[in-house]
Chain A
Amino acid sequence: MRQWMQEYGEQFREHRSEGPKYLDDYRPFPNNKLFASEPVLGEDSRETIWRKVVQEGEAIKSVSANFGVDMRRVAAVVRLKEVEKAWEREGKKLATPYARAVMSMLPKQRLSEGQEFEPINEIHVHSYTQQQLFLPTSESRHFTREDAAKAFGDNILPADKRVPHPELINLEKDVLSGKSVEEAKEAFEKAAMESEVAAARKEQKRLLHEEKHTTKVNASRFEFRFKDINVDDVGKDGRSRQGTGWRYGVPFYDRRRGEIKIPTKVE
């Protein structure tokens, strides 16, 4: 070990240069060829995303498509940036030296329009589609993605409807049908904004609905929230997961000794 440290390991003691330094090129684990350290967004890229979304009011979807950054990442960057700005306003101390040191050790990628940071239009491989399926059809049949989805299961949506950016497909279709790129882009921006507004409205509606059906009672330490339940939620055999409370013949380990009750979600 000592010999290795002197000959090879000493270069890792202090990080002097800008950029990552791993055991094997860009791989932190030399024996795992399937894992590479992928670049992260730099400080200025995060600032750009925040500016586009918050100050210029662009839709998250269009920012995501323009810079090739996943929608969820765009939203997370904005959320974290907002917290950072709030800390700055409050005069809370930021961990700037730590941030600078870590960023100098990570691979970074600068954002530029039209260049992909990560794949943005990914869909999960549905478990129903993982098995081989023989479907006899006529040779002349025009068998599309929709038909394939139907063949795999009744409730499976085709890939065109499952992708996170269906608007991008429409953009490409517009371009193929002879529209100018600017026109197609404009239509895309509009559609992206519309879908974002629709999603926000839907979420608001859900919250309102939930609020309407809960009664809140403020006690000294706690806020009690009562919801209406339906006895029929237990289902025909009385064992449905939707049912509430203890039911005859169904084990209910809620109060068992040593039962750990780690929350499953935090809101």
Chain B
Amino acid sequence: MKLRRTLRFHGLKKPRVRQTWNKYNLFNLANDRQALNTIGSNVKTFFQQKWAAKRLARGYHGEHIKERAWERMFDRRLLSVVNMEPRYMAQYDGSEQASGRGQGKAGSQESEILEKQRGSGKKTPYMQMAFAPMERRLDIAVFRALFASSARQARQFCVHGAVKVNGKRMKYPGYLLNPGDMFQVDPERVLFATGAKKDPAAVADALKPAEDSEAAPEAEASSDAEPPAEGEPTPEGASAAEPTEPAAAPEDPAKAERAELKALRDRVKGFLKTSFGDLSAKQKQSLRALSKDIKTAISKTKGGGEDIDGLSTLFSQLEVDTKEAESNRNAPDAEVDEQGLTRSERERLSELLAEESENPWDPDKPYATPWRPRPFMAPFVFIPRYLEVNQKICSAVYLRHPVARAGKAEVPSPYGELVNELAFNWYLRRR
């Protein structure tokens, strides 16, 4: 299907609110009065008002869906619910509402529960449900479940086969979800859609020094020795220990390994001494390098001599069981184990390593790593009640159709009753 072009999609001169998490969209959403004035309820004819309202509303609700397709989906029956209070129903059988009317009783003394059941005088906003059938569409549900940053992107995910419904691939974005349907989106796509943009230049920069260090370790050591930026400590052990490594290399390999591990230990200590609290980007980078080095050290010393084992087991322990450290929390903090690290230092290190393994730096991903949410995401983040979402597995269940209840409507719409009512009247086809 050919989609409408997105020229001036988030235009500022003729603003339209769209189903996206765009920065410009946020601005248009915040300054919506201007768009609402175009309806001009006191200058335009009724037909013109309906046209203007429909244009505004359709600019948001599934603007990528053809008008004909939407007209077919439109339904003039609007769903609403009433909550029945069990206590009221147990107490009364409904006859008390009519009793005495014939004798001229003006109004029955209604119980508090009945008042609550009726929504304490609030009206049910039926007109807000004008675009409820749209919310049944798979692509829009994927967008509502926060798995895509726009409805168009959600549509693309469906078409590209990244969305499953009840475990089966569903390539039609126009599939209408049935109550109880579970849809899943490929987590990689979700991370891409909701994550910050990758900066290729930064990735190239980050990759460069790693290659350099293999070629010329001395050069790196000297660069490490430079004075650190304010508030950002350099691991002292790193600069101190690394020059010793090439010197030890020509000698006995076991000795060299031990020296390497010692250097690592020093780096860990240097790191922990200085980096309690939140880490800066630079510090995280060095932590990443450290964890990589620890891994290689462990794999190198797997079959090594006994004298190295003490240190290597320390690192493997740190890697494998982070839980043990937690259980031993009550042990005296100052007690230094045989590897030369205090208990709190070990805990902190294992915590950091766990965080790193959960959200790793990976230049191959199409989004910025370690993953972080994209800018200007928070004001758009809400999940309507007709969906139940599990973010960890990027899956959601469409519980039921959206409904209106006293004082609230479940269809997420940027416009109030004025616009929605006029738009609903447009589609009634009696214009």
Contact = CB atoms under 8 A, between A and B. Distances in A.
Contacts of B190: 95, 98
B187 A121 contact: no
A120 B12 CA distance: 43
Contact of A72 (B174, B400, B403): B400
B416 A33 contact: yes
B29 A80 contact: no
Nearest to B400: A72
A262 B177 CA distance: 11
Contacts of B166: 266-267
B90 A173 contact: yes
Contacts of A125: 79-82
A35 interface: yes
A191 to B, nearest CB: 13
Interface residues of A, number: 85
Given A14-B375, A142-B95, A159-B84, A32 B172 contact: no
Contact of B84 (A21, A122, A173): A122
Given A35-B128, A266-B181, A30 B32 contact: yes
Nearest to B33: A31
B177 to A, nearest CB: 9
A95 B391 contact: yes
B26 A9 contact: yes
A29 B414 contact: yes
Nearest to A137: B98
Contacts of A226: none
Contacts of B376: 9, 12-13
Interface stretch (B216-224, B230-238, B380-388, B422-430): B380-388
Contacts of A81: 390
A22 B379 contact: yes
A40 interface: yes
B403 A124 contact: yes
A22 B94 CA distance: 42
Interface in B379-431: 379-385, 388-397, 399-400, 403, 405, 407-417
A249 to B, nearest CB: 24
Contacts of B94: 143-145, 148
A148 B96 CA distance: 13
A106 B146 CA distance: 11
Contacts of B89: 159-160, 163, 169, 172
Contacts of B179: 72
A84 B413 contact: no
A35 B411 contact: yes
A172 B392 contact: no
Contact of B27 (A5, A40, A169): A5
Contact of A93 (B12, B98, B187, B408): B187
A121 B85 contact: yes
Contacts of B84: 121-123, 159, 163
B246 interface: no
Closest 8 CB pairs of A and B: A139-B102, A172-B90, A37-B382, A99-B391, A76-B397, A80-B390, A145-B94, A119-B83
Interface of A: 1, 4-5, 8-9, 12-15, 20-23, 28-38, 40-41, 46, 70, 72-73, 76-77, 79-81, 83-84, 87, 93-99, 101-103, 105-106, 118-125, 127, 139, 142-146, 148, 159-160, 163, 165, 168-173, 175-176, 260, 262-267
7 contacts: A4-B27, A32-B128, A105-B377, A125-B82, A163-B86, A171-B86, A176-B91
Interface of B: 12, 23-24, 26-27, 29-33, 36, 77, 79-87, 89-91, 93-95, 98, 101-103, 125, 128, 146, 165-166, 168, 170, 172, 174-176, 178-182, 187, 190-191, 194-195, 358-359, 370-373, 375-385, 388-397, 399-400, 403, 405, 407-417
